[in-house]
Every structure is written in C-alpha cells, then in structure tokens.
Structure 1
Amino acid sequence: MDDVKEARDPAPAVTRSIRLLGLLADAGGPRTLTELAGGLGLAKSSTANLCLALEAAGMIERSANGYRLGLRTAELGGAFAAQFNQVREFYSVCDSSDVLRQELVQVAMLDGADALYLARHEGSLSLRLGTPLGSRLPAALSAAGRALFAAMSDDDVVARLGEDAVFPALTERSTTTLAGLLEILAATRKRGWALDAEESFRGIVGVAVPLPGWAPADPPLSLGVAIRAIEADFERIERVAAALQEAARALTNPFSAAARR
C-alpha cells in the first residue's frame, strides 16, 4: 500500500525530506543515520542522500552524535510568525507595559488539538523555561489553548476535539475529560481570561487571553504568561490578566468585528 501511495506522490523526495525533518523535530536531540533510516523505512544510502541535500540547504546539520535541525529551520519558523501583524508588534507592546515587560509572555495558535507557540518575550523577571518556540502543548490543558477555545462555541470545541476526547495527565492536576474542559471554558468566558494551574507543568501557572486575528486570513492567537506557582498569588494573576487584556486590545485591529463587539 505504501508503495502505491509513493507511486502517486508527485515529489517523493520532497515528501521524504519533510518526514525526515519531522523526525528530527520530534526527537528532542540528534539522531543517527541508522535511526533516521529506520524511522523513514528507507535504506541508509537513500537516507544519506536526503541528509546531504538538507544539510547543503542549512535545514539540518551534522554533530558528533548525529543529525539535528539546522539554523535555516529557525529562520523559516520566524518568517512564518512574522507574517502576522500582531506578532511583529507583540514585542514592543510587551515592552511598553509596566507589568508585561517583566514577564515571560508567549503567543500561541491552535494546530489541531494543540497550542503551537510562535513567539516569546523574555521579561526581566521571566522564567528560564516554559515552551520553546515551535513547541506544542495540549490546548485543553494550557492557558494559551484554553483562551483560544474560550473564543469558540462549545459545539465548535467538541467538533474539533471529538465527543470522546480525553487528555493526557501531564501532572496530577490535569483535566482529562471533555466535560471538565467545557466547565473550565465556561468559567474562562465569564472572567475574560484563561488559567492553567499547574496542569501543563508542575510549578508553573499560566494566564492567557484570546487575540483575534488582525486580518480575516490571520489565525486567532492567544497571549499568555507563565508564572512560578510559588509566586502566583491571586493578586499577581489578576494583575497579569489585566495587562494581557490591555495588550490584546492594543494588538486588535480597531476596524475588525471583534473590536467592535
């Protein structure tokens, strides 16, 4: 069956290269030629040819322990995020905020059932951890993802996730059921901001707000802050949430339907 699919593929080398990049992105570290060949189901000689072409293009690089993603992939990721007006203005808006200039602030979008992180502002007091650019978290568990879901109807959330959706228990606090998520989203809509109380990472509290797309073709985004749990008293959470709401207003197109509501 795979042979039939590949025979219909108009550019099998491109498809294989994309799969190889995906293997390296998911690996979290270098992978040897043997490991890559096994993951692709290809001969080592064919895999080596793919690696040579990708290495020449700067998409991957060779280290003592194998192959890893190259600098060109970071440039492309940055170029993708920079397509959106809000991401380009995000850093200056954070720097102009008395609250957010001190915080770790991130921009995320939905990709399937995940929150995909596109941009990151390192504040003066920010955490030296969190979600690296291009990384993902289950949207049902992260504040950034919940802010995006809260901007949708419950029916749309169920359609996206499935009626039988269950979520991984990343910590002992994680919500794992769709019914539990819908209750959380109702509370999120009522107060105007989303909360992740150590459900994605132990010791980290997330606060986030939705950010409607600037142009009709832009995806909905969210703005979120990660705070150490030991520092996340309710006063700070509310202060951060208010600052995020103000930043979202500054980053929302004044002529958009969302801004007029």
Structure 2
Amino acid sequence: MGRLVPAVTRALDILELFLDGEGTLSAPDITRKLGLPRTTVHELVTTLAARSYLVPVPEQPGRYRLGVRSYQLGSRYAEQLDLAAEGQRVAREVAETCDETVHVAILEDLDVIYIAKVDSIHAVRMVSAAGRRLPAHCTSVGKMLLASLPADELDARLAEAGELDAMTHNSITDHDELRSALAGIRARGIATEHRESNPDVSCVAAPVRDRAGRVVAALSVSVPMIRWTEEREEELAELAAKGARDLSESLGFRGGDR
C-alpha cells in the first residue's frame, strides 16, 4: 500500500465533518474540531472552496457549507448502487451471523418481490427464491413495507385489491385487522409474521431506506418453527434492524434510527 498524503487526508477530514450533521462550519470550528493549525485550515478551506467542494454562506460571513461538487460525487455514487446487489451482500452478512434464511424484498402494488436471498446452512430451512412474488399482507417484509405507506396510498391499494387472500390459517384477510397490525408495526419499527405465509415458518423484518429517507425495501430473517422462541425472536429482530440499517447506509441514508 502506498503512503497516505497528509494534505489529502486533512482535506477529507474537513469534508467528513459535515457527515455529523453540521450544516455550516467556520475555519475556527474546523481548527477546534480537528486540532489543525489555523494556517493549514485556511489553505485547505480555500482550496476546497476553489474546487466547489465548499462554498461560502452569503448570509453568514466566514462560514462554509458543502458545495455542488460534493453533491455531484454523491449522486454519481448513488447512481452506481444496485439495491439487489447491495441487498445480497448485506443479506449474506446477516445470514452468516444467525445461520438462518435472509431475504430483501420490495413492494409492488400489494405484493412483495424478493430481490435477494441467502439460505440458512441448516438442513431444515425455508424454500424460496429471489424473484418470487407473494402477497404483502402475509409476510413480515410485506407488512413492513405496507406500514411505511402513507395512509391514503394504503387505503387506495386495499380498495383496489378488494378481498385479501389467505396463504395459511394464520394469514390476515380483514382490512381493519391489517390496518391495526400495521399501526403496531409503525410504532415498533419491526414487523413479525408467525406462520402467515408458511405454516412452518416465522419471520421478522425491518425497513430499508434510501438516501432521502424513503423506505424502499425490507430485510427479513426467516426461521422454521422448530427453532423459533420468544428469545430468538428478540435476537433476530435486533439483527434484522442492524442489517436493514447497514443496507440503508450503503444506499446513502444518514438519518440514523427512524
């Protein structure tokens, strides 16, 4: 590995200060936060501003905010991201931690489409595949995604769908019962599904957000009932939430828990 260039490292340190939620910074702020000499900070800020990575704030003399070049780089990075590929990567990491089946799914109308899947290493595991479509109201990923819809959009989709089909005896088929379940999911931030799509499987799911904070997918962990306990559910809920946060961050989301 080659030698790190100190000036470049310091310039990047300045830009990364804005990742902490700072809207604007002055040269004294940067000096204090990074412990750099004032002359060095002045030269670095001047250079970054000349290249449009920073711009002066007109109404706040001496303060700077991120410039258009920073936005352009971030946008180009976002364009290169592939939700399915990133989802497969994170699903693999989660599966390696819990040794259970992990899915990432998106919502289309009132169905979910699985875009990534990593199998459990156990002999008893869930039979599914990326690309498969299931009724959203019967799955943890689907209920998580439905819970993230605005109320008027959810109502419109339910009205258009009409009667909800059951996949097992535990599936929710009543609109009001589904709305009540979704309200609980919104409050908790985690969705669960107990034998609603498969009589032998329970699942837990968490929301995945894009850089604008929109819920664009959900990540779930699926477990055969022979390995499902209340304690295991809590463990997997935390793991699904962490995996969903990691995937959200890889998509550019920087809002933390929501």
Same fold (TM over 0.5): yes
2:228 is matched with: 232
- Cα drift, residue 212 of structure 1: 1.4
Aligned with 1:111 (options 108, 111, 114)? 108
1:201-220 correspondence to structure 2 within 5 Å? 201-214=198-211, 220=216
Q: Structure 1 residues 96 and 133, CA, compared in 2 at 3 Å: closer, same or farther?
A: closer
Task: Judge conservation of contact 2:94–2:102 (CA < 8 Å) in 1.
Answer: no
Can you list the C-alpha shifts for 1:18-43, whole angstroms capped at 9, x where unaligned? Answer: xxxxxxxxxxxxxxxxxxxxxxxxxx
Name whichever of 83-92 and 154-163 sits farther off: 83-92
Name whichever of 104-113 and 125-134 sits farther off: 125-134
2:128 is matched with: 131
Give the Cα–Cα distance (whole angstroms) in 2 for the partners of residues 105 and 190 of structure 1.
23
Q: Does residue 241 of the first structure (1) align with residue 237 of the second (2)? A: yes
Aligned with 1:143 (options 140, 143, 152)? 140
Q: Where does the alignment leave 5 or more consecutive residues of structure 2 unmatched?
A: 1-79
1:51-200 correspondence to structure 2 within 5 Å? 84-97=81-94, 100-125=97-122, 127-162=124-159, 165-200=162-197
Q: Structure 1 residues 142 and 256, CA, compared in 2 at 3 Å: closer, same or farther?
A: same
Helix, strand or coil for the counterpart of 1:125?
A: coil
What amino acid is aligned across from residue 236 of structure 2 in structure 1?
Answer: V
Task: Judge conservation of contact 2:105–2:116 (CA < 8 Å) in 1.
Answer: yes
Q: Does residue 253 of the first structure (1) align with residue 249 of the second (2)? A: yes
Give the Cα–Cα distance (whole angstroms) in 2 for the partners of residues 84 and 114 of structure 1.
24
- Cα drift, residue 98 of structure 1: 7.8
What amino acid is aligned across from residue 167 of structure 2 in structure 1?
Answer: L
How much identity, in percent, do the aligned residues show? 30
Task: Judge conservation of contact 1:94–1:100 (CA < 8 Å) in 2.
Answer: no
Q: Where does the alignment leave 5 or more consecutive residues of structure 1 unmatched?
A: 1-82
Q: Structure 1 residues 258 and 111, CA, compared in 2 at 3 Å: closer, same or farther?
A: farther
Q: Structure 1 residues 100 and 162, CA, compared in 2 at 3 Å: closer, same or farther?
A: farther
Task: Judge conservation of contact 1:85–1:214 (CA < 8 Å) in 2.
Answer: no
TM-score, L = length of structure 2: 0.61
- Cα drift, residue 164 of structure 1: 7.1
TM-score, L = length of structure 1: 0.60
Task: Report how many residues are paired.
Answer: 179
Can you list the C-alpha shifts for 1:49-93, whole angstroms capped at 9, x where unaligned? Answer: xxxxxxxxxxxxxxxxxxxxxxxxxxxxxxxxxx75343233443
Give the Cα–Cα distance (whole angstroms) in 2 for the partners of residues 164 and 112 of structure 1.
9
Helix, strand or coil for the counterpart of 1:170?
A: coil
Give the Cα–Cα distance (whole angstroms) in 1 for the partners of residues 178 and 98 of structure 2.
31
- Cα drift, residue 124 of structure 1: 2.4
What amino acid is aligned across from residue 240 of structure 1 in structure 2?
Answer: L
Helix, strand or coil for the counterpart of 1:140?
A: helix
Q: Structure 1 residues 86 and 214, CA, compared in 2 at 3 Å: closer, same or farther?
A: farther
What amino acid is aligned across from residue 129 of structure 2 in structure 1?
Answer: P
Q: Structure 1 residues 167 and 191, CA, compared in 2 at 3 Å: closer, same or farther?
A: same
Task: Judge conservation of contact 1:127–1:226 (CA < 8 Å) in 2.
Answer: no
What amino acid is aligned across from residue 199 of structure 1 in structure 2?
Answer: E
Helix, strand or coil for the counterpart of 2:87?
A: helix
- Cα drift, residue 96 of structure 1: 4.0
Q: Structure 1 residues 177 and 126, CA, compared in 2 at 3 Å: closer, same or farther?
A: farther
Task: Judge conservation of contact 2:209–2:216 (CA < 8 Å) in 1.
Answer: yes
Point out the structure with max Rg over C-alpha.
2
